[in-house]
Amino acid sequence: MKGISTIAIAIIVIIVIAIVAAAAYFIISSHHTPTTTNTTPITLTVVTFSGTSANFIQYAGELFHQLHPNVQVQVVQYPFSQYISKELTALEAHSSQYDIIGFTSTSALSVAPYLLPLNQSDFNFSDIIYPQEDFGGLYYNVSTGKTEIIGIAYETAVYLMAYNMTVFNNQTLAEEFEQEYHMNFSPITYKNWTVVLDVDEFLTSHHITKYGFLIDDHVAHGIIDAFPAVFGWYYFRDSSINLGNPSGIPNYNIMFEGKILPGYNYPLPSFNSTSGVEALMTYRELVNYEPNPSQIQISYDNLPEFFSQAAGAFLFTSQLSYINNSQDVLLAPLPGESVQCVINVIYFINKFL
């Protein structure tokens, strides 16, 4: 519990940094002189996706209010599959209804044009965890050729494999699978996505589980998170698209080539390639072992509901708290120990304020 508490305190500090940045922006941009105490009531409206993270931000906002009574923090929450479209509707209209914008690494490029870059001379960046910033907080501005800070990461949720301990600790099933497929049954040993598909086929065809490994396929936001998790395995191994940079350019990440080619001022898409097509075919096969997407689409919000009927799921660590009987859930990295799809929840300031 001591380690968890320490982490929680650190996260609170980072969240407060984001709120402090926004508050500082309002104060710096006001007409008060530096020697005058600003007592004008201020309400900061944060928009993000619903769940424990949003509740935690509200809690951090209340802590900030205790230190600065004239500042109220209001958190507006939308379901994960809707929040980006809600944000973009407001931002594209140049609306100032949201002060601080929540987004993830996979949606960073969509909201980046509407965010105010941080001036590093105005703020103390000593507490910022820069490796996290690569996944959404940093933005390579193709117009200026410079990297800008457009967000502050307060939470990193790694995309990984969660699996049913009861199923995979069954020695009889393990021996049967290994005799039939000549591969190890344990998820921690999976070297590629082919093994996952073989396990899906084995468990569903033998009616051991109703579904294979679940993976997001929701058209609104699920695909943009799940496909990179699959594609990452291919990207890492294909030098013709990663160009010697298997992590990709900060914020563009693996969905774009690892370097900017001569004659261009932006990276080219990487998924429009042989590896991209192979990853898409693999993704389609994975979806075949879960509910028919024409009837039910698996999403960030409903995946935990189906977990008990499945072999396991590819999910974010932030979803684990929603799974019933989580004590029976074990974790493994993505096949091939890939960690290409990492999500960072980022908060930053609407430029239209």
- CATH code for the domain in which residue 51 is found: 3.40.190.10
- pLDDT, position 162: 94
| Whole-number pLDDT of residue 30 | 45
| Same domain, residue pair 148 and 163 | no
Which backbone phi and psi does 43 adopt, to 5 degrees? -115, 120
Full-model pTM: 0.74
Cβ–Cβ contacts within 10 Å for residue 320, how many?
17
Q: Give the pLDDT confidence score for residue 172 in this predicted structure.
A: 97
Residues 187 and 107 in one domain: no
Residue 66 burial (C-beta neighbours within 10 Å; 0-12, 13-18, 19+): exposed
Measured distance CA(284)–CA(281) in Å, rounded: 5
152 and 162 assigned to the same domain: no
Query: How many distinct structural domains can be found in the chain?
Result: 2
| pLDDT attached to residue 343 | 55
pLDDT reported for residue 323: 83
| Residues 132 and 181 occupy one common structural domain | no
Separation between Cα atoms, residue 100 and residue 223, nearest integer Å: 25
State the pLDDT at residue 62. Answer: 93
> Does 169 lie in the same domain as 147?
no
Check residue 4 and give its pLDDT.
Answer: 31
- 83 with 108, same domain? yes
Q: How far is residue 301's CA from residue 50's CA, in Å, rounded to a whole number?
A: 9
Looking at the DSSP assignment, which residues form a beta bridge with residue 103?
346
Taking each continuous run of H as one helix and of E as one strand, the counts in the chain are 12, 10
Helix (H, G, I), strand (E, B) or coil at 267: coil
Residues 127 and 207 occupy one common structural domain: no
Pairing, β 42-49 against β 100-103: parallel
In angstroms, the CA 289 to CA 314 distance is 13
Residues of the chain with pLDDT under 50: 1-17, 20, 23-36, 341
pLDDT of 28 reads 43
Question: By C-alpha distance, which of 73, 79, 28, 75 is closest to 50?
Answer: 79
In degrees and rounded to multiples of 5, residue 329 shows phi and psi of -105, 130
10 and 149 belong to one structural domain: yes
pLDDT at residue 132 in the model: 74
| Cβ-based neighbours of 291, under 8 Å, separated by 6 or more | 211, 297, 298, 306
- Are residue 259 and residue 228 in the same domain, yes or no? yes
Are residues 203 and 142 part of one domain?
Answer: no
CB atoms near residue 235 (< 10 Å): 29
Question: Do 191 and 249 sit in the same domain of this protein?
Answer: yes
Domain that holds residue 165: 157-341
My answer on whether 216 and 254 are in the same domain is yes
- Which residues, 6 or more positions from 191, have their beta carbon under 8 angstroms from its beta carbon? 335, 336
